[in-house]
Chains A and B, each alone.
Chain A
Amino acid sequence: MTEQTSTLTTIEPEARPQIVELETVTVRFAGDSGDGIQLTGTLFTNVTALVGNDLGTFPDYPAEIRAPAGTLPGVSAYQICFSSQDVRTPGDQPDVLVAFNPAALKVHLPDLPEGGMILVNVDAFTEYNLKKAGYTSNPLEDGSLAKYRVYKIPMTTATLNALREIDLPAKDKERCKNFWALGLVYWLFDRPLEPTLRWIETRFRKNPAIAQANATALRAGYAYGDAAEMFTVHYRVRRAQIAPGVYRKITGNEALALGLIAASQLAGRPLFYASYPITPASDILHELAVHKNFGVRTFQAEDEIAAMCAAIGAAFAGYLGATGTSGPGMCLKSEAINLAVMVELPVVICDIQRAGPSTGMPTKTEQGDLLQALFGRNSESPVAVVAPATPADCFFMAIEAFRIAIKYMTPVILLSDGYLANGAEPWRLPSVEELPKIEIRFRTDPNGFFPYLRDPETLARPWAIPGTPGLEHRIGGLEKQHITGNVSYDPKNHELMVKLRAEKIARIADDIPPLEVFGEPEGKVLVVGWGSTYGAITSAVEHWQKKGASVSSIHLRYLNPFPHNLGEILHRFEKILVPELNLGQLALLLRGRYLVDAIPFSKVQGRPFKISEIIDRIGELL
Chain B
Amino acid sequence: MTLEGNGQGVKLTKKDFVSDQEVRWCPGCGDYAILAQMQKVLPELGIPREKFVFVSGIGCSSRFPYYMNTYGFHGIHGRAPAIATGIKVCNPDLSVWVVTGDGDGLSIGGNHLLHVMRRNVDIKIVLFNNRIYGLTKGQYSPTSEFGKKTKSSPMGTVEAPVNPICLALAAEATFVARSVDRHTDHLAYVLERAARHKGVAFVEVFQNCNIFNDGAFEPFAGRPVKDDRMVVLEHGKPLIFGKNHDKGIRWNGTTLEVVTLGNGITESDLLVHDEKRPDPALAFLLARMDYPEYPVPVGVFRAVEKPTYDELVNAQIETAIAERGRGDLEKLLRSGDLWVIE
CB-based contact B53/A466 at 8 Å: yes
A473 at interface, CB cutoff 8 A: yes
In the complex, whether B115 has a CB less than 8 A from a CB of chain A is: yes
Which residues of the partner chain B approach A249 to less than 8 Å between Cβ atoms? 336-337
Q: Mark A282-325, 1 if CB is under 8 A from B, else 0.
A: 00000000011111110101110111011111111111010000
Decide if B90 touches A50 in the complex (CB within 8 Å).
no
Q: Please determine whether A303 and B76 come into contact, CB atoms closer than 8 angstroms.
A: no
**Distance, CA A392 to CA B339, complexed state (A):** 16
Residues 455-502 of A contacting B (Cβ, < 8 Å): 465-478, 486-487
Question: How big is chain B's contact interface, by range?
Answer: 35 or more
Please, how many angstroms separate the alpha-carbon atoms of A294 and B340 in the complex?
A: 26
Q: A309-B79, A467-B50 are in contact. Are A321 and B71 (CB under 8 A)?
A: no
Distance A336 CA – B320 CA, assembled complex (angstroms): 31
Complex formed: what's the CA distance from A317 to B49 in Å? 16
B72 interface residue, CB < 8 Å from A?
yes
Name A309's contact: one of B86, B94, B341 (CB within 8 Å). B86
Kindly provide the distance from the CB of A266 to the nearest chain B CB, expressed in whole angstroms: 8
Find out whether the CB atom of A293 lies under 8 angstroms from the CB atom of B323: yes
Most chain-B Cβ atoms within 10 A of its Cβ — which of A49, A270, A317?
Answer: A317
Residues of A within 8 A of B338 (CB): 246-248, 429
Is residue A611 within 8 Å, beta carbon to beta carbon, of the partner chain?
Answer: no
Q: How far is the CA of A301 from the CA of B334 in the complex (A)?
A: 31
Could you tell me the dominant secondary structure of chain A's interface residues? mixed
Known interface pairs A316-B83, A317-B94, A431-B330. Does A195 touch B337 (Cβ–Cβ under 8 Å)? yes
B317–A295 CB distance below 8 A: yes
Q: Which of A68-76, A215-223, A237-245 contacts B (4 or more CB under 8 A)?
A: A237-245
Contact of B69 with A243 in the complex, beta carbons under 8 Å: no
- A466→B336 contact, CB < 8 A: no
| Mask: chain B, 303-342; 1 = CB below 8 Å from A; 0 = not | 0000000000110110111011111011011101111111
Partner of A466, one of B85, B91, B340: B91
Type the 1/0 row for A193-210, where 1 means its CB is closer than 8 Å to any CB of B: 001000000000000000
Supposing A309-B79, A475-B74 touch, asked if A316 and B86 sit within 8 A by C-beta, the answer is: yes
| A residues in contact with B266, CB < 8 Å | none
Closest to B69 in A: A472
Contact status B83-A312, CB under 8 Å: yes
Of the candidates B74, B327, B333, the one whose C-beta lies within 8 Å of that of A474 is: B74
- Residues A272 and B334 in contact in the complex (CB < 8 Å), given A309-B76, A466-B94: no
Instruction: Kindly list chain B residues whose C-beta atoms are within 8 Å of the C-beta of A432.
Output: 329-330, 333
Contact pick for A293, options B71, B93, B325, B342, CB 8 Å: B325
Q: Is there contact, CB below 8 Å, between A475 and B72?
A: yes
Is A413 an interface residue when CB atoms closer than 8 A count as contact?
A: no
A469 touches B90 (CB 8 A): no
Given the interface pairs A306-B82, A310-B85, the reply to whether A292 lies near B317 with Cβ below 8 Å is yes
A265 beta carbon closer than 8 Å to chain B: yes
Residues of B within 8 A of A243 (CB): 341
Contact B90 A297 (CB under 8 A): yes
A335 to B76, CA, bound (A): 8
Distance to closest chain A CB from B177 (angstroms)? 24
Known contacts A258-B333, A469-B48, A474-B65: A247-B341 contact under CB 8 Å: yes
Interface set of A (CB-CB < 8 Å, partner B)? 46, 49-50, 52, 195, 239, 242-249, 258, 261-262, 265, 270, 272, 274, 291-297, 299, 301-303, 305-307, 309-319, 321, 335-336, 339, 343, 428-432, 465-478, 486-487
- Can you report 21 residue pairs joining A to B where beta carbons are below 8 Å apart? A195-B337, A244-B342, A246-B340, A265-B327, A291-B327, A292-B316, A293-B317, A294-B332, A296-B317, A297-B90, A307-B82, A310-B89, A314-B89, A466-B50, A466-B87, A467-B71, A467-B91, A469-B48, A472-B71, A474-B19, A474-B73
